[in-house]
Amino acid sequence: MPASLQLEHVVATLSCGEELRIPYWHIRSGRGGPQFLVLAAQHGNEVNGCEASRRFGRVAADALVRGDVYIIPFGNLLALRHRRSHISLKAEQPYAEDEGHNMNRTWPGDADGNDTERVSFALHQAIVEHCTHVLDFHAWSRFSATGAILRRGYEPSEALGRVSAIRFIHPGTVKKGPRGHTTLGGLLNDTARAGITIELAPQWAVVEREVRRGLRAATNIAKQLGMMEGEPEGTDAPQFYLDEVDVVEVRAEHEGLFVEASVATWDYVEVGQRLGHIMLPDTLEVVEITAPVAGYLLRFGAHRRHSDVALPAMHPYADEGDLLATIVPAEP
Ligand SMILES: [Zn+2]
């Protein structure tokens, strides 16, 4: 018998007294088991997970055999409408300039706090508190490869990372907001449950390739937890723990416009493979840029600090010394 999928709403009371209704799906297998939450868009410009979690809801509705799945595609609906990471940010303002409204520093929320804290409080009371496992979808800029962030040395969190089939695994650091609150994944891992964050790059767009990676990760986790039948997919591909590898950086030796070859973050590149060229500002000649080692592209493209929020920081005109690529060698 298929599981039941039900649309429900969490109601948060905002500081102006208005109520914000946040939609979610609750999928019940009708049998005991893990309580698995998939949440997306705590940051309003990180939207790949909205579609990945929506599709996972359809999969779970067909295939759930144990436990319950909760799907919150629009975790921070106000920030989504604001079309920026936090509801308080203005044009090109970095995330860190207002950690008080950085939703992923507000868990478990505050009923009397600012509007972001009120939203996380309502979600926590209604759903998060009852969950055993959480997958929290975020997104990095297009210059960083999709990666998973988990708590190293804490097996319940590491197990989610192994089965996610996400190529790059980043050790999570404990991040606290100004009021001592923490991240959603951190909260789960602090309380003997299991949390993982997956950053489905890029931000500001929904990209089919990334939606599929996110859907596969969520489905694999559900299978691993015995909530669905079948074997996880894609887990035979290499996975790299970034606290254990020595990466190789490729930097611009000349100032100029970096023209990217047809490669992307996450991809495998051969030694000597063309990564692009730099077009020089004086002679208009080009300098070829090639991979010094065979491996996987962890970062790619000329960019600088705050390239997640500011257009000039995303500009491909490189200064001498700017990072163009970071490669995780295929062989240590
Ligand atoms: Zn984020």
Distance 192 CA to ligand 1 centre (A): 23
17: left (phi over 0), alpha (psi -120 to 50) or beta: left
Q: Tell me how far the alpha carbon of residue 159 lies from the centroid of ligand 1, in angstroms.
A: 22
Predicted local confidence at residue 1, as pLDDT: 57
Q: Which residues does residue 288 pair with via DSSP β-bridges, in sequence order?
A: 277
126 with 252, same domain?
no
Percentage of the chain exceeding pLDDT 70: 99
Residue 58 pLDDT level (bands cut at 50, 70, 90): very high
Question: How much is the pLDDT for 176?
Answer: 85
CA 152 to chain centre: 17
Instruction: Average the pLDDT over 173-184 and give the result.
Output: 88
Does residue 237 lie within any of the structural domains? no
Residues 258-278, mean pLDDT to the nearest whole number = 98
In a domain, 316, yes or no: yes
CATH of the domain at 305: 2.40.50.100
What is the pairing mode between strands 240-241 and 168-171? parallel
Residue 235 maps to a domain:
no
Please say whether the dihedral angle defined by the alpha carbons of residues 146, 214, 166 and 277, taken in this order, is positive or negative.
Answer: negative
Instruction: Write down the pLDDT at residue 97.
Output: 87
* 277 C-alpha to ligand 1 centroid (Å): 31
Asked if residue 173 and residue 308 are part of one domain, the reply reads no
Which of 166, 190, 224 is the endpoint of a domain?
224
Look at residues 189, 224, 259 and tell me which one is the last residue of a structural domain.
Answer: 224
> Residue 316: CA atoms inside 13 Å, Cβ hemisphere, count?
14
What pLDDT, on the 0 to 100 scale, is given for residue 300? Answer: 98
Ligand 1 centroid–CA 43 distance in Å is: 5
- Condensed to tens digits (0 to 9), the pLDDT of residues 146-155 reads 999 999 999 9
Question: Over 80: is that where the pLDDT of 51 sits?
Answer: yes
Residues bordering ligand 1, an ion, CB closer than 5 Å: 43, 46, 138
Contact in structure between 245 and 295 (CB atoms under 8 Å): no
**What is the predicted pLDDT for the residue at 181?**
94
User: 203 and 305: one domain?
Assistant: no
Together in a domain, 32 and 159: yes
Same domain, 24 and 109: yes
Residue 182 structural domain:
4-224
Same structural domain, 187 and 50: yes
Between the CA of 71 and the centroid of ligand 1 the distance, in Å, is 17
Residue 315, in any domain of the structure: yes
Q: pLDDT tens for residues 205-248?
A: 999 999 999 999 999 999 999 999 999 999 999 999 999 999 99
Same structural domain, 180 and 300? no
Interval between CA 253 and ligand 1 midpoint (Å):
32
Whether residue 19 lies inside any domain: the answer is yes
Q: How many distinct structural domains can be found in the chain?
A: 2
CA of 293 relative to ligand 1 center, distance in Å: 31
- Going from the Cα of 42 to the center of ligand 1, the distance in angstroms, rounded, reads 6
37 CA to middle of ligand 1, Å?
A: 17
Q: Tell me how far the alpha carbon of residue 40 lies from the centroid of ligand 1, in angstroms.
A: 9
Distance 120 CA to ligand 1 centre (A): 14
pLDDT digits (tens, 9 = 90+) for 60-81: 999 999 999 999 999 999 999 9
Going from the Cα of 55 to the center of ligand 1, the distance in angstroms, rounded, reads 20
Q: Are residues 191 and 109 in the same domain?
A: yes
On whether both 43 and 126 belong to a single domain, the answer is yes
Q: Summarize the confidence of residues 101-117 as an average pLDDT.
A: 96
Indicate whether 169 belongs to any domain: yes
Distance from the alpha carbon of residue 107 to the mean position of ligand 1, in angstroms: 14
CB-side neighbour CA atoms (13 Å) of 165? 21
Is residue 32 very low, low, confident or very high in pLDDT (cuts 50, 70, 90)?
very high
Relative to beta strand 35-40, strand 133-138 is parallel
Q: Is residue 13 domain-shared with residue 79, that is, in the same domain?
A: yes
Distance 20 CA to ligand 1 centre (A): 21
CATH number of the domain enclosing 153: 3.40.630.10
Q: Are residues 170 and 255 in the same domain?
A: no
Structural domain includes residue 240: no
Q: How far is the CA of 85 from the centre of ligand 1 (A)?
A: 7
Q: Are residue 29 and residue 103 in the same domain, yes or no?
A: yes
pLDDT, average across residues 139-151: 97
For residue 232, being part of any structural domain is answered with: no
Among 193, 224, 255, which residue terminates a domain?
A: 224
